[in-house]
């Protein structure tokens, strides 16, 4: 164990190895300059260019990408897997309560027709 540590120290103190490590570190530093901040700045520039060139689709696309980077877009579409996981964690009593609540809510919504209330009154 001590021998391995001693050899590692010898290798790491070698001038050639130090230079190679420094070169790799510089390359890594340069590639990691692309950050969230720079991406947002680039997208802001793209938005401005799209606005100047009167390209609404490009403008909207840049806005959407910015929102995505900032975490403002949330998927609200129904997800069958997520619903199945939620139901699997529920007890039978909780599932029955939820089903009753959903049925009651559906009945309430179907009883009131806000789009055509006059037509419903005429039928009655």
Q: List all residues 6 or more positions away from 104 whose beta carbon is below 8 Å from its beta carbon.
A: none
Ranges 7-11, 81-85, 110-114: which has the least confidence: 110-114
Rounded CA gap, 75 and 68, in Å? Answer: 11
Look at residue 95 and tell me if it is in a domain: yes
Co-location of 60 and 88 in the same domain: no
**What is the total count of domains within the chain?**
3
pLDDT of residue 32: 63
Q: What range does the domain containing 114 cover?
A: 80-123
Co-location of 64 and 84 in the same domain: no
Look at residue 75 and tell me if it is in a domain: no
Question: What predicted TM-score, i.e. pTM, was given to this entire model?
Answer: 0.38
pLDDT of residue 59: 94
pLDDT of residue 42: 92
Q: List all residues 6 or more positions away from 101 whose beta carbon is below 8 Å from its beta carbon.
A: none
- Tokens linked to 94: 């909780």
Rounded CA gap, 52 and 58, in Å? Answer: 11
Rounded CA gap, 50 and 58, in Å? Answer: 6
pLDDT tens for residues 41-67? Answer: 999 999 999 999 999 999 999 999 998
pLDDT of residue 116: 54
């Amino acid at each position: 164990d001590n021998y391995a540590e001693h050899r590692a120290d010898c290798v790491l103190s070698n001038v050639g190895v130090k230079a190679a490590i420094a070169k790799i570190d510089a390359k890594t530093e340069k590639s990691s300059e692309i950050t969230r901040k720079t991406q947002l700045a680039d997208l802001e520039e793209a938005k401005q260019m799209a606005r100047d060139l009167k390209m609404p689709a490009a403008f909207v696309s840049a806005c959407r990408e910015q929102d995505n980077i900032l975490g403002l877009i949330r998927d609200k579409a129904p997800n069958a897997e997520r619903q199945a996981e939620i139901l699997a964690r529920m007890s039978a009593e909780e599932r029955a309560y939820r089903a009753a609540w959903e049925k009651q809510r559906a009945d309430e919504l179907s009883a009131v027709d806000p789009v055509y209330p006059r037509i419903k009154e005429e039928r009655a």
